[in-house]
Structure 1
Amino acid sequence: MIYSEEKCSLCTLNSIVCFWGDMPQKKWKRPILGVLSAIMLFGGGYAVHQVVLNEGVQNIYFNALFGFLGGLALLGLITSIFGCDRCVAKIFGSAR
């Protein structure tokens, strides 16, 4: 994992997605964000795979929802690996 106190290449994207401003930085947020994002990304991908196999893709709202949630999970996973502490805190929120 890359730890940095300076602005990283993900700061601009995270500032657009997480518009609520800076949050408290804690060292425990990075591993928790990585684990939760990986579970959401791979678990959600498995659920979509099962729906496609069993029922087919017929609902555009279902596809849009899982695409949006998958994108957020991917952003969280990439930020937990390559992002700075400010980006990790901004995505994780105000948990103390």
Structure 2
Amino acid sequence: MVSKHIGLIDDGSNKDKKQHLLDIWFDKEPSTTKFCVKTTIKHDDEWLHSFYYFNDEIPSDEDFEQTIADYLTFEVNMITHDRGYLFGLDERVANE
């Protein structure tokens, strides 16, 4: 459990969760979620989580529309605050 301004708080499930992850790690049981990625890591591999994370679930129409609206709000906010150059806009055009 996570508490605001405190962080993780022991709710009694820590040992079970740790054992579950270790069992998956040592191939004693299969992962039941997409949380675990089984791959061989080499010295020249990318080390970011996002490199291995793949979400193949198709977003709902509402989620997609909200994401587009959030992006457009962000872009307009940046342009109106003289940061149009982030989007390839000439500063003179953004200031006119």
**TM-score normalised by the chain length of structure 1:** 0.29
**TM-score normalised by the chain length of structure 2:** 0.29
Which is richer in strand? 2
Q: Which has the higher contact order (CA 8 A, sep 6+)?
A: 1
Which is richer in helix? 1
